[in-house]
Every structure is written in structure tokens, then in C-alpha cells.
Amino acid sequence: MSSDEGSKTLTLIRTAQGIANSSGAAPVSGRDPQTLAALSALGHWSHSHNGVTVNIIDPTTQSTGGITYNQASPAAVPSTPPHGGVGGSLFKTLRGDDTNNNNSNNSNNPPSSWDTNASQKLNLYSKLTSTFSELYNSTLHSINLNNKSNSKSNIPLLLRTKPTSSLKKLPVKLKLQQQPINTPEQWHDNPYCHIYIACCENVDHYRAKVRPAVKAFVNQIEGSGIMSRDNTAESMATTVSPTSAAATAAAAAGGKEKGKKTANEKALAKLGHVASKSSEAGNFGSRYIIVFVPIGSGATSTSGANSTGAASGAGGGFGGFRAGKKGGGVIVDNKYNNNVDDNVSVATATTSSSTDGASNSNNSQQYNTAAAAYPPGPIAHSSKEVKELYHKFLKDFPNGRTVILGTLLDADVSTISPLKNQEWKAFLHNLGGAIVDGFGDRVRRYDEELRRLDSKRAAFVRKISGEHSEIVVGGGGDKKNGLVEDGSGFDLSHFFLVKESLAFTYEQMQLPGEAKLQYEELNAFLPEEAWRQLAQQQELAMGGKGENNNGVANNDTTTAMISPSDLAMAGDSERFRKLIKSSGRDLRGVSKFVPQYMYSREVRLLFQMGSPVDVLSRSKEFLVKEYRSKLLDVGADFGQRWKKEIERIGISMNSSSEKLLEAQSAMKQDRLKKEAEIEAWALSSCWDVKCAAEHYFTLSPPEVISEDGKKDEDTAISVAAPTVEGQDAARCIAELLEFAILRLIRLGDLALGEEKVNPIRRATSERPADTLKPWVPWKELRKQSRSKSPERKTSSSEAWTIHLSPHVSSWVRNAFSSSSTYEDTYLELAKAAVYINRRAGRFRFASRLEDHRAEVLISRGEYNLAADVLSNNVGACARDQWNRAHYWRIFRLACCQRVSGDVLAYLETLTQSFNPRLSSVAPKKTASLFQNDLEALITDAAVAEPRWGAFPFLETELSIESETAGKSSQPLPFLRRKLSKYLTYVGNELRFNLNINSHLPRAISVNGIRLYLVTLASYEQVYRRNGTVSEEDAFRILSIDAPITIEPGKNQFSFSWQPMSYNVYVLATVEIQWKEASFFYDSALLRKPLVGLDIQPSEPTQTIELNPLFLIPGHVQNVRLVFHSGSDIITGGAVTLICSEGLQVVPPNTDQSKLEEAWSDECVIPLGACKPGKKIVITTLVKSTSSRSGNDADDIQEMMAKVETSYRHLSYNSVMEKGEEPDSNPMTTLLEAMVTTLDRPALAVDGSEAFVFDEDRVMVNVSLQCNTPVPFYVKEWNLDLPSPLVVEEDGDLNKGMFQHAIPEGEMLLFGFKCLRADDSDEPSNERPILRVVLQDDFGKTFLQVLPLNLDDIYKQLRKEDEYAELHNATAELVCSVKEGSVGHPVPFVYNLNLQSLISPKARRSNMSVSVASEGPRPTILYTIISEGSDWIVSGKVQGLIDSKQSDIVSIPFRGIPTRSGLLRHFPEIIIEYLPITTLSGSLSQTPPITVLTKTPERFKSLAFTNSLSLAVPQDLEEF
């Protein structure tokens, strides 16, 4: 190879990092820094396609470059021509400087200021570029790709990747009078739009000079670009071809008909020129901006007006451009552009060159309307002449954009003023829109060209695949330079260059995704296999003649100094495209470098997109494909050479077979050497990509320092990357490193030859060499190790059969200096691959590579390092439950540890080998050998010191056999687990079952089994400290004495415990003592429930008794407290008597003389120790005041007795005598008793009632409720009633109630017969009272005075007395008929009942005159009245009644109805006593008489038609 291609990959990435604005270079492997430094210059070869180009035509600036235009085309883009010649007068005309071509109408006018050509000295181009560079950094911001004013804009349709509505920034390159390029493969170098700087002084200047020059410029460029066609659905696929530029320009310039000239052609013809379209300008772009710079007197007034307007703040907004109705984009009038298609044209943001009214130049009314409405900004404050010039530009050039930049005349370009800011804001806004429009036009031109080329693609593909053509060597077909020319006419090189030119266009527009898509389409069009076939055809056809080392005939001396491969890998598009052009139509000369070039270009674009992961993925894909392609090339070359050699040897018939074999061997060695170099290239390239990627991602393990201060790299176990991007990157690098490992192994095979075995393959074979040796028991192995320590195997000094060329990386060459360095290189690669696979989350891949590393280390005799690798990797298969692979790794780890003599590690590995999941896959012979070594290891004193954990060869499970009071759970935050607590009490017998499941193949005998009980508080402290439970932490250790035999399978053992202290205990640890080793099974580390005991104090059997049950208010009473110890052992205590308000107590045995001073509210009496079954009696005095009243009446007086004792369980002494239970604090309990005073009377009235059962006799019933806590007896009772009731002599009906015991809550019913007495005294206000005397068991009596509520009976008696003094009579009105006529008399009769008046009741009160006495009876006067009724009465309506004759009296009379209808009111009757003359001659008072009247319900009165009445005397009864 001509260069170190492996390092080129890293160089490319480093170059791309500079594009991505990364700081510093990527870290390299450090193997070959000189090669990397030498190739770092490749990054400077790349041509950057960053930013768009804009062409500026400035007649005021003299061109200093060597750019020339086709002078045969007078209408070419204006540029400064050479002095003299035909082009000089044309250029002056286009600039407006020709003083000989004045307007004929103004030929007599004096020369104006613009005749002096002063505008040529302004150099506005330099001012424009300086301002744009200094103030805006030559960058446009927020470029909108979507046009809101034109819904038919199709810019997003041109973008096939992620939708992009706007660009954040876009670099712009301003070039003066750039030469147009017509070649499609270089269209990307053309400008996107044009800027014409037009300096105009007045209207005459505009008409004579400026407008003709601008029209000539517009005529030229409008014939080059694609303008919009008709609104047809096919317009997207049908675009203007470069060959029809003139026709398109004619149609776009004003829709000229056949045989007619356009406006531009007429303007040029007026000046004496021909408006021809040159081929060079055919694809130059048709988007332009006219920068109008007012000069002369108009400029002065405009500048002043603008400054004033800017200072005053008037206008605002985007100054100097016209806004559309909707703030839209370029509005193209179809009248002037018959080929405009709204579906194809790309409209952008608001422009200043057109409005709806000004776009049609032939409609003066619309133009005047647009001119009358001035746009906002400086133009509104400009002079009239400037406004007129501005609107002329708008009218004459409607297809472009017009802005005003009067500030270009400022001397200082770095200053910023409000006017300048407005003008430049409008200019940049329109510039962005024009660039986007030009971008759309260019993409459509590319699409047309590519469609044209694509039509010829099928024939070329068939040629490459060999379906319709074959390679002819030495004859047949048309040949040129030995190559067969196909008749399809498809130019692959042109197609490639055009496609890449489109990619450059997207890259210039800051769309790297779209640019990358073009290269992906090229890859899909011709995959890498096609490029390889083209390269083979080139080599076969050229035969190595006339070519350089890479198969490319280079005429360029500069390019010849650099290999095409270097150009391709560096992405030097400028030089590599030259190679493509010189390689022929089908790219055979550079076909093998095209994939490299496209890779470098794609990587550069991916970095611009900010996708480093995709860079890695693309690099991996490129390396693998390039590797395969190189191998295929070597194989094909070997086949061709061998065929030629056979033909050569076959010509000489005298050649022997030895020569044939010798030639075959030489060619085979040459092939192997080439393959080795390819393998070395792939190996070094993969490693360089990994080192370069470390600049972005963490791909190297951190440094871990061991206890001895040395760097420990094998213990750096990584986890998956925290981000998805990091995992994806690690996955790509991991796959690359695995590919590199395969290349290293293959390179070792090639270097060693067929007769020798690769040490890596030998170490990673199915049966390692050390497993073929006999198994040596542990003790014998230890004896051998003491006599001879294991040493590392010496590396083979055999020389490798193939020496790599100097072009291969130095670290690769050093790897094959010996077997040891080769193995070191493999270990380093594998270690890096392990770490990166873990970062990618590919733990199984990492585990497999770790196995291979360990086997290589074992083969080298480095058992300690191999054990470290395997110990970190042994659990990977356990997590995946690959039991056989897991057991194999444990077996290999045990092999390393037993040889190295690591007793502790070997013991742990052996115990891990008897895992329950591995028992089904472990060979019986291996398990038996492991148990032999295990039994030998536990007798070693070295295993006694460590605290061994819960190893799986024995599984333990604890359970509680005894019945408990309940079960609950308690969360343990420090463990993040729950504790299952069994509730029990002190003194209860507990039994625990320990189930041990042994996975050993044979039974073992252990020294002892112990169970550690730890309090919950201590357990938390232990866990937070170190998580290790020791004997000092245990509250109680339960043990089973030896000998204990544990059989294979399940075994059950029991522990018993009688707790004497209350607490929460955790069954923390089970210790199994086996020979010198002790295995601790901590519950916190096991995946089984955490078992605990909640020991509560035993239920106390102590009791207290407090007498009496209640206190009598106002008395001093004896209180006795009796304490019974029950079955508890009392260690001490105290009795506290507490009295509430109103009660007081004295200590026991208080002297009577000091009794008054000893009364207190509280008394404490000590209580001594007491054996089970003992009794203590305490007696004292309590004094109670009388019952309280008022608000405190509801408070209960009470005396509280509290007995607090410390006690132990009955079995405490017997348990403590054994010496196993630790001493603990006694239990405590609190006994309470209370005695209260009566808050209610002993007897309470539940109800009282009375009712009359005879004329003057009343029965009284009283119900009482007993409220005393203890039974009382009724000794006597008495009922006191106020007048007029008295209890009869035999009226007490409660004889059997005497000496009757009344319990609490019982009801007593009393009954009394009473007599209504005739007492002349006034009634009393006293209330009835029942007095009851109670007697208790001690003979003490209590009088209960109980008021009774008999108000109802007394009210009734009082009303009867009042009614007895009244005189009542009853009257009934009887009507003879039920209906009659108005005015017709109706007979009535009142029937009076005077019995109550004649025979009144006996009086119980005195009256002044008694009308019911035995003397003469009074006469009664009656009167019948009709007031308030509907009647007129007649007859005897008033008279006297003799009450002596009869009690019933009838009084007839007549009534006449006065109205018709139903009458409900009738005449009334009134009766009264006539006054009586006393003996003294005075009139006595008589009581009133009340008449109770009963009348008919209604009377129906009918209206009359005639009436005949007759008055008769009253005495005529017949009437």
C-alpha cells in the first residue's frame, strides 16, 4: 500500500471534529504518532462548501480580477471589460456612462452631473461587502423556507429528510461580477441570485442610462433561470432545459408572441445592440435584487428626509421595500410570465419589488393606486423625485426585488443609525428571499438534468451486471484505449458529478441531511460491489500500462504527488472530481476510490448534523465493506495471475511439476502477504476509530488503584452508559473491536502458517490443555506447590513466517515480534472490547470475551490474573440462568485458584459450585472431587479467621413451631424489607424449626449450629455499622450440641426458648460450625422472610380491692385497699391515693390528735416485695363534703387508687438458675380502682300522677328509681299534700314496702288514696313532698325528701270550683220548615233547659247572695234578638219565665227572611235573672246566665214574584 490507510480513518474523524467546532484533537492510541501527524495535513485539502454565493454587479466599481465574459453576447452579465475593443462601449452602455447615446428628446439639454461618470468612483461594492461583513458577519439569520403568502410554495417538497421550515443562519459570499458556469456538474459554483447596484440621480438619468443597462442585465439573467410555468399538475416534473434558455427568457420577459420583440430586446435595439442569449449564462439564475442608491440633489434631500423620519420615529418597520397585502413573497404577474407555474415557483418572504397594484405595468390605475400608498420606512419621507424613481423601478422590473440603500454613500461603514438599520433590515430580508427562490430554481434544474441522465441508467446497469455485454480483451467491438465503449450513451462520471453537485448545493444551504441523502442514493444506485467490478475491468483492460501506482493516469503534477486514496479519504472534492473527470465515462479509473471518497463526504456531513453515533456506524460499515472488497480483489488477482502462469508454463512442455509447485508456492506466499496486510489495515483502522471516538464518549475504563498502590485494571467493572446515545456509540465500537479481534486472530494464522497453531486458538479451544491432565487432590497439590512454585510459561521464540510491510502500523508490527507480544495485544483488545460491550449493555458478549481472556492467561501460566478475570465474570451466566456455562466457569476458576494456592478464594469457589441450580448439570465425579477438596480445605487453620457468608451448598430456613398470639409485619426502612413479627408473651415456651437443605453429594458432620437472637434496636445499629452480627451483638444465642450430621437433602433441627424479658427480637443469623470454618447465614442477606418475635409482658395476675363502693357526701368514712400478688413475683411497688375536689385522705395509722392536719388531696403508700399468693391490706380515712350545686353539680367526686408494681414471671427463678438467659429488667404493671360519691339522690322520682276515681276522691301514684350502688332498705315514708287534697286514714297502700331491700336501678311504686276536702281556706302554694327514710347494712339511715309534680290534678280541681259558680242553660232552636220565600213568615220554637239553674251543685265558696238557696226562686227574663242575622222576628220575642213550674220551657216566635239564598245565621235568645230585693230593701247582685244555643244547619230562602201581606194582632193564635 502507498500509505497507512488505517490511520486515515482517524485523520478523517479529526478533520470532521474541526467542522463540528470541537476543541482539540481526538486522543489517539499512541502507537504510531508520526504517521498520524504526517497525515493530519489531509484535513486541509478538503474544500468546504459552506455558504451560498451571490453575484454583485456594480457599475461604480472597477473590476480588478481577471474575469472575462463572452463579448460576442452584448447582453452578458455586465462586467468591467478590457480597455478598448467592442466590449468597452457595451459595458459603458450597460452602466449608463455612454454620453453619446442621450435621449433624442433631450438632446439640447445641458450635460448633467451623471455625465461626469462620478458614479464609477463610488466603489459601492466594497462598502456593501464591508458593512455586511463587519456588522452582520456575512451571515443571514432566520431564513424562512415556507412562504405564508403563497400556499403553493413547494420548498418543503424538495426536502426529503426531516422537515425544515427555516434556517437559523446562512453564510453568504458576495462576489463581484462572477463568471457564469453552464456545466451542470459545476452549477453549485454559480450564484443563487444577483444584486445590481443602480445609482440614479434623476428621472432623465434613469431613462437614458440606468433603465437600459438594468434591462440588458435583466434580459440576460431571465433567460438563464427556470421561471414558473403554467399551473399544470405536470409542472413539477417538467422544467425548462438549459437548451431552451432563450425561449424561456422570451416567455418570462413579457410573454412575447412569435415574431415580436420583448421589452428588453427593444431597449437593447434602441441602443444598437442585439439581445442574444449566450450558452455560458444559460443556468446562471434568474433571481435578482436591484439596490437603488439615490445620488445627486435627490440623494441629499432623501438622506435628510430619511434622517428626519428616522429620528422622529415615523414610519418604522422595514424601510425601503414594498409589502404585499399579506406580507407575502415575490408576486409574479402571469401577464409578463406566461410560463410561470405557481406549483413550481418558490416564493419567499416579503419583498420590496412588487405589490398587487404595481405588478402590472400596463394598468395605470393600479399603478397610481400603488404609488399613492407609500410603503412604511424611509421612502415615505423621501423626496418626490426619489419616490418617483423608486416606483419606476417597481413598474419596469416587476419580476425582481427593489430596495433602497442610500446609506451606502456614508463614509463610515461601521456606524449604525436607525435609518441604516431599517434599510439593511429590508435588504437582508429580500436577500434571504431571493436566495431561497434561487435555491428552488437550482434544485429543479438538477432534478431535470438527473431525470434526463436517469433515463439512460438501465442500459448501463445491465452492462455492469453482464446481462447484455461482456468484457472483450484483444478484439471485438469498438475500443478506445483498450476499453469497450457501450452504446447506451450513459455517462456515469457526469451523473456522479451532477449528483454530488446537488449535494454541494444542499450543503451550501446548511442542509447536511439532504446532502447526505444524495450520497446514499448514489450508494443505492451503484453499490460497492459494482465499483469493485469496474475497478477489475479497468485493471484487466489497462493491463497496468500508462498508469500510476493507483491505476489513474494523472496529468496534473500536483495531484500526481498525492495518491488518489489520500485524496478520497481526505474528502478533497476539488482534486478528486478532477480525477473523476479524467477517468472516463464509467469511472473505471477511480472506481475503487469512490467508496472511500463518499465515506469521507458522508462522515463530514454527519458531523455537521451533530450525529457522532452515525459517524461511528458509517465508519464501521465502511471498514467492513472495504475489508471484504480488498480480500476479493486479492483473490481475483491471484486467480488471474495463476491462470496466466498456467498458460505460460503450459506453452513450455518441458517444464516439470516441481517448477509448477514452486511457482504456485511463490504466488501463494505473495497472496498471503497481501491478505496479511489487509488484515493489518483492518485491525489498525478499527483501533484508530475507537481511539478517535474517545473524544466524544467514555470508552476506556477508569483507573482503579489496589491496596498495594498498583493499578488494577481488571476490577474496573462498568455498567451500561446512562444515555441512549452513549449506548449506541458503545455498541458500534464494540462491534468494531470484535471485528478487530477476528482480524488479529486471522493475522496470527497467516503469520504462523498452516503447520503452526495460533496460541489464541489453542487457548480458546474446546478442551484446554490443563484439563487433560489428571486431577491432583488438594493436600498433595499443596505439597507440590511448597516444593515448586508455579512460573509463567516462557514465550516461544519462533520467528513468524510473514513480515509485515513498513506501511502497516507500528503497533501491529510489534504485536508479531513474538508469541508473548501477540498474546498481549489480544488481551488488550479483548479487555477494551469487554469494557465497551458492558457500556453498550451487551453483557453476554462481554462475558464471552472475558472467558477467552481467562483461557489465554491460563495458557500463559498467569493463574492469578486469570482467576481475577473469571471471578468478575462468573456471575454473568448465573444471571442468565445458563447453568452449564456457569458451572464450566466455576470449574475453570477453581482450576486457577487451586494451582495458585489461594485457600480462601478456592474455598468460596467450591461452596459456590454446589449451587442448587447447578446440581442437575454438575458431573458426579467432579462434584465428588470438589467435596474432597472442600473437606480438606476446612481443616486448614487459614479458613478459621474469615467470617464466611451464606454459601449455597447449604440452604437454611427458619420457622416457629409454637402457637403464638398473632402475627404482624413491620417495615424496616434501613433494610427495605418487612419483618414478620410473631406475638407472644414472657414465660411462654417457644420452639423454632431450622430446615437445612444440603446440596453436597455426601453427608457431613458439623461441630454445632447456633441461632443468634438480636433486639431490633441493636440489629439496626449493627446493619448501619457493617451489617455483620457477632456474638457481642446477640441478646441470646440458642445452640444445638454436637455431634450433628447433615445428610444430603433436607434436614430439620429444633431450638427451644422461654423468654424472661419483653422486647422485639430478630432471628438474625444461623451459624454452622464445620471444622475450622464457620458459615453465617444472615437473614438480611437471604431472599427469605425476615422472622422476628414480639415478646410482650406476661399478663399480670395481681388484683386490688377498694371498699366501700361509694362515699356518702358530708361524712368521714373508712376506706380499705386489699392487694393480691397472684402468681407473680413482686419486687416492689407503690400505692397512690388521689382525691378530687371535695375529698381528702390521710395516710394510714395517722394519730387522731393530728388528724385535722393530716388531711390532703394525695397520699403515697410504699408497697414492699411480695411472693406469689400473698395479700396486703391498707386502711385509711376519707372525708367528703356535702354535695355541690351550681355549675359544679355535674362534676363527680372520686378517689383514685393506683397501684404500680414491678414483677417477674413465676418461672423466672428456675430459668435463671440454668445461667443461659441474660438478666433483664422486671416487668411493670399499673392497677387502678376508684370510689365515688353519689352524684344523684339515692332515690329519684321517675314519675308522679293523680286521677279522680269518685266524685270527691283522688288516687296518687309515685314511681321512684334507686341509684345506690349497694342495696338499701326502706325504713319509713310519708306523703304531704297541700289543700284541697288529704290522704285518707286508710289511704296508704304501701304496707309491704317496709324493710324491703332495694338494689341499684330498681323501681319503687307508691300508691295513696286521697280525699277532696271542703276547706274554706285559700289554696296553698306548697308542693307535694314524699319523704322516704333508707337504712344500709350498718344501720345508718338516710332521709330522702322527694318533691312531686301533681300540678295537673290541682289545676283540674281548681277549674271545677270555678265552673261550679257559673249558671248555665241550654237552648235549641227548632224551625218547622227547611225553605221558604223572602218576606214569608216562618214559625220558630226555642226549647230551654233550666235544670242547671233550678238544681245547682253545692257551693264550696261563699257568695254574697245565693240564688240556689232554699228561699224563693228568682224569675228569669228572656229576649229574642235578630241583630246580625238575615231575619226579622215577630211574635212574643220578650217575656218572663216562671222556673218553678218546669225545667223545660218552649218559646214560639216567627221570623221573616230578608234575602234569598242559604241562610246560616238565625235569631238568638238571651236569658237573665231579675234583681231580688233584700230585706233591707236594696237590690242584690245576680250571677249571669250563659246560654248554650243549638241552631239548624241552614235555611233555604227563595226569591218571590208577588207578595200579599196582612197585618193581624199578636193575640191571634190561629195565624
Instruction: Determine the pLDDT at residue 46.
Output: 40
**Averaged over 670-678, what is the pLDDT?**
88
pLDDT at 1298 over 70: yes
Between CA 1470 and CA 1451 the distance in angstroms is 12
Torsion of the alpha carbons at 548, 553, 555 and 558, rounded to the nearest 10: -50
DSSP per-residue string spanning 1388-1431: EEEEEE-HHHHSPPPPSS--SS-TTSSSPPPPEEEEEE-TTSSE
Q: Which helix (H) or strand (E) holds 938?
A: none
pLDDT at 1477 over 90: no
β-pair partners for 151: none
Instruction: Determine the pLDDT at residue 244.
Output: 35
Instruction: Show the 3-state SS of 303-318.
Output: HHHHHHHHHHCCCCCC
pLDDT band at 703 (very low <50, low <70, confident <90, very high): low
CA dist list (Å): 126 to 35, 94, 97, 413: 45, 20, 20, 10
The whole model's pTM is what?
0.63
pLDDT at 704 over 90: no
Which residue blocks in 402-527 are alpha helix, DSSP H? 418-454, 457-465, 492-508, 512-525
Instruction: Determine the pLDDT at residue 88.
Output: 33
Q: Which residue type does 1141 have?
A: E
**Averaged over 406-416, what is the pLDDT?**
77
pLDDT band at 1505 (very low <50, low <70, confident <90, very high): low
Phi, psi (deg, nearest 5) at residue 1015: -65, 155
Lowest mean pLDDT among 482-486, 775-779, 1009-1013: 482-486
pLDDT band at 523 (very low <50, low <70, confident <90, very high): confident
Q: ∠1414-1418-1421 over CA atoms, to 5°?
A: 160
pLDDT: which is higher, 1318 or 1463:
1463
Between CA 728 and CA 724 the distance in angstroms is 6
Phi, psi (deg, nearest 5) at residue 1058: -115, 100
Between CA 456 and CA 1485 the distance in angstroms is 152
Q: How many CB atoms lie within 10 A of CB 1447?
A: 14
Q: pLDDT tens, 801-846?
A: 777 778 888 888 888 888 889 999 999 999 999 999 998 988 889 8
CB burial readout 741-755, b (16+ within 10 A) else e: bebbbbbbbbbbeee
Instruction: Determine the pLDDT at residue 1420.
Output: 86
Task: Dig out the grid coordinates for 912 from the structure.
Answer: 459456590
Q: Which has the closest alpha carbon to 15: 562, 599, 812?
A: 599
Q: pLDDT tens, 928-937?
A: 999 999 999 9
Q: ∠474-477-483 over CA atoms, to 5°?
A: 60
pLDDT band at 182 (very low <50, low <70, confident <90, very high): confident
β-pair partners for 1010: 1039, 1071
Q: Which helix (H) or strand (E) holds 851?
A: helix 843-859
Q: pLDDT tens, 123-147?
A: 888 888 888 998 889 999 988 887 5
Task: Dig out the grid coordinates for 259 from the structure.
Answer: 415574431
Burial class (CB in 10 A: 0-12, 13-18, 19+), 1233: middle
Between CA 381 and CA 316 the distance in angstroms is 11
pLDDT band at 1351 (very low <50, low <70, confident <90, very high): confident
Between CA 471 and CA 479 the distance in angstroms is 11
pLDDT at 995 over 80: yes
Q: pLDDT tens, 1032-1044?
A: 899 999 998 878 9
Lowest mean pLDDT among 559-573, 576-590, 1195-1209: 559-573
Q: pLDDT tens, 1398-1430?
A: 554 444 444 334 444 445 567 888 898 888 788
pLDDT at 1212 over 80: yes
**Contact (CB, 8 A) for 203 and 383:** no
Between CA 1390 and CA 1367 the distance in angstroms is 19
Residues 6+ apart with CB under 8 A from 674: 634, 637
Between CA 501 and CA 496 the distance in angstroms is 8
Instruction: Show the 3-state SS of 320-354.
Output: CCCCCCCCCCCCCCCCCCCCCCCCCCCCCCCCCCC
Q: List, edge to edge, every strand of the sheet that includes 990-998.
A: 954-960, 990-998, 1049-1057
pLDDT: which is higher, 418 or 364:
418
Instruction: Determine the pLDDT at residue 19.
Output: 36
Between CA 626 and CA 620 the distance in angstroms is 10
Q: pLDDT tens, 47-104?
A: 456 789 999 998 888 654 433 333 233 333 333 333 333 333 322 333 334 433 333 3
**Averaged over 264-272, what is the pLDDT?**
45
Q: Which has the closest alpha carbon to 221: 241, 198, 192?
A: 192
Cell match 249571669: residue? 1488
**Averaged over 849-875, what is the pLDDT?**
89
Residues 6+ apart with CB under 8 A from 1382: 1457, 1458, 1459, 1460, 1501, 1502, 1503, 1504
Between CA 1489 and CA 908 the distance in angstroms is 128
Burial class (CB in 10 A: 0-12, 13-18, 19+), 1172: middle
Instruction: Determine the pLDDT at residue 1186.
Output: 62
**Averaged over 1359-1370, what is the pLDDT?**
72
Between CA 889 and CA 875 the distance in angstroms is 9
Instruction: Determine the pLDDT at residue 193.
Output: 92
**Contact (CB, 8 A) for 1067 and 1095:** no
Q: Are strands 954-960 and 1379-1381 parallel, antiparallel or unpaired?
A: unpaired
β-pair partners for 408: none
**Contact (CB, 8 A) for 1311 and 1293:** yes
Instruction: Determine the pLDDT at residue 787.
Output: 66
**Averaged over 352-377, what is the pLDDT?**
37
pLDDT: which is higher, 1183 or 1255:
1183
Task: Dig out the grid coordinates for 184 from the structure.
Answer: 451542470
3-state secondary structure of 201: coil
pLDDT at 537 over 80: no
